[in-house]
Amino acid sequence: RAAADPYRPEFHFTAERNWLNDPNGLVYLNGTYHLFYQHNPFGPDWGNMSWGHATSPDLLHWDEQPVAIPCDEREAIFSGSAVFDEHNTSGLGTAGNPPLVAIYTSAYSDPSPLAGRQAQSLAYSLDEGTTWTKYSGNPVLDRASADFRDPKVFWYDGAGGSYWVMAAVEAVERQVVLYKSADLTNWQYLSTFGPANATGGVWECPDLFELPVDGKPGETMWVLIVNINPGGIAGGSAGQYFLGAFDGVEFRSESTVTEGLQQDGSRMREYGWLDWGRDYYAAVSFSGVADGRRIMIGWMNNWDYAGSTPTGGWRSAMSLPREVSLARLDGKMVLRQTPVDPFAGQESPSFSLGPQALASGIQQLPVAAAVARLDVVFQPGAATRVGLVVRAGAAERTVISYDVADGVLRLDRRKSGRADFHAAFPSVEAVAVPLRDGRLRLSVHLDRCSVEVFAQDGLATITDLVFPAEASTALAVFAEGGGAHLVALDVVGR
């Protein structure tokens, strides 16, 4: 991290140089997590879309690898997924050396005869992702559409049979289309889902996976992820999810609130949102992770201003990886998200407070941090508002507050530092979160230019970029309108 580069994260992946957007081809194989990503190898703005590549043993320390799948003058390499084709169903490897197969969107342009179309293509690797070859029969799935993209492929093994399933979007139609295949090269149409719930923008980057209910492997629900831009809950880009059933052909949602193309956004807060902040987009999950663990990564940015973030020669980071599971909240099934903890294994917190009264007012902590995890449990009691101030300096601060009367958690970055690079950047995010036994538990991850808040053990999350001065590292807790009780506070930092 150069001294002149105060925003380069320590635990969030960034490309050494140049532009990055969606995570692609998330796959775990033989002890290595592979993160491919939308990348412009030639500049800090969107363009020349290719798949960059990074590898990690632990999802926190990443090594950037050479560009895996480069664009050429006829096709840009848009988002998609990767699978380990263990039984060489594709025939692209051998029984003794089965291939890693990437399924990506070819966005064709002149001089391709398919110019203007988006269709699905394959590339494969016979050396665990080091080198890649584009399949000679590309594209493998073409609907003659200009907005058919972002294929997520998984192996389905259920009552309906065993085969590959692809979820992709007809982005403008706000639809997820499902296909099946025995060999990754020949695809048959299964069904279409949508429009439903949030439809105020194009649908992009879908995912479909199964999770156990109440930790019982036999009892499951299916999760359909649909990223949307614009029209997200906090404005611009965001991820929504549907919970329901998948029988190998059709996804049937049990969490649809509104069907069809709704213009009226009044029920937005009833939809399932992966994150209630401004900067968690294009989130999809890893394939091949052991023990049925489902781990997602999102692009920590928003198309509203992604081209303007003030980070110099590199642009954009990935979120912390998050393990997702199902939980019940007020009798309703929701997704719980638990981040991979950068400080796991670090013995003792750098600062701790035990149970104590919190008088009305603001109390600065005798510890400062730009890269840290803060765990706090409030019992608001007589207070009307409680919260945390992070990345504070003389003239700037990011405020995380909980309003007791309406049960709403907010993240306010209006005065968080540099915010004037785009009119859409200054913002306040909000999510309703009920107290549990009168308590609010927050886990907040700070890294150079980001704040990720996990409330009530990950039942609601808010992810926002912030660009404070490097020296703005002060931390504080506060109560307003009356005294509160601070049950515990731990700061783990470096």
- Binding residues (CB under 6 A) for ligand FRU: these are 21-22, 38, 49, 78-79, 105, 149-150, 204-205, 282
End-to-end CA distance of the chain: 15
β-strands 18-29, 314-315: how paired? parallel
Query: Strand, helix or coil at 49?
Result: coil
- Smallest gap from residue 145 Cβ to ligand FRU (A): 13
Gap between the Cα atoms of 227 and 216, Å rounded = 28
Gap between the Cα atoms of 374 and 453, Å rounded = 9
- Smallest gap from residue 78 Cβ to ligand FRU (A): 3
- Smallest gap from residue 207 Cβ to ligand FRU (A): 13
Q: Which is nearer to ligand FRU, 22 or 396 (CB)?
A: 22
Would you state the structure tokens that stand for residue 42, as one six-digit string? 């030639």
Return the amino acid letter for 238.
A
Query: Strand, helix or coil at 333?
Result: strand
Return the amino acid letter for 269.
R
Return the amino acid letter for 341.
D
Gap between the Cα atoms of 198 and 273, Å rounded = 10
- Smallest gap from residue 464 Cβ to ligand FRU (A): 18
- Smallest gap from residue 369 Cβ to ligand FRU (A): 31
Around 402, how many Cα atoms within 13 Å sit in the side-chain half-sphere? 30
Backbone angles phi, psi at 270, to 5 degrees: -90, -10
Of 353, 357, 229, which is closest to residue 298 (Cα–Cα)? 229
* CA distances for 255 relative to 48, 223, 322, 328, angstroms: 38, 10, 22, 13
- Smallest gap from residue 204 Cβ to ligand FRU (A): 4
Query: Strand, helix or coil at 191?
Result: strand
Would you state the structure tokens that stand for residue 192, as one six-digit string? 């279409």
- Smallest gap from residue 452 Cβ to ligand FRU (A): 19
* Residue 299 near residue 23, CB atoms below 8 Å: yes
Peptide bond into 195 cis (omega under 30): yes
Q: Which is nearer to ligand FRU, 49 or 433 (CB)?
A: 49
Q: Which is nearer to ligand FRU, 302 or 416 (CB)?
A: 302
- Smallest gap from residue 115 Cβ to ligand FRU (A): 17
Gap between the Cα atoms of 18 and 11, Å rounded = 18
Residues in the chain: 494
Q: Which is nearer to ligand FRU, 150 or 207 (CB)?
A: 150
Q: Which is nearer to ligand FRU, 102 or 400 (CB)?
A: 102
- Smallest gap from residue 49 Cβ to ligand FRU (A): 5
Q: Which is nearer to ligand FRU, 105 or 472 (CB)?
A: 105
Report, as residue numbers or ranges, the catalytic residues.
22
Backbone angles phi, psi at 467, to 5 degrees: -130, 65
Gap between the Cα atoms of 61 and 460, Å rounded = 26
Largest CA distance in the chain: 71
Gap between the Cα atoms of 29 and 141, Å rounded = 26
Gap between the Cα atoms of 64 and 17, Å rounded = 10
Of 379, 337, 334, 327, which is closest to residue 355 (Cα–Cα)? 379
Gap between the Cα atoms of 315 and 307, Å rounded = 8
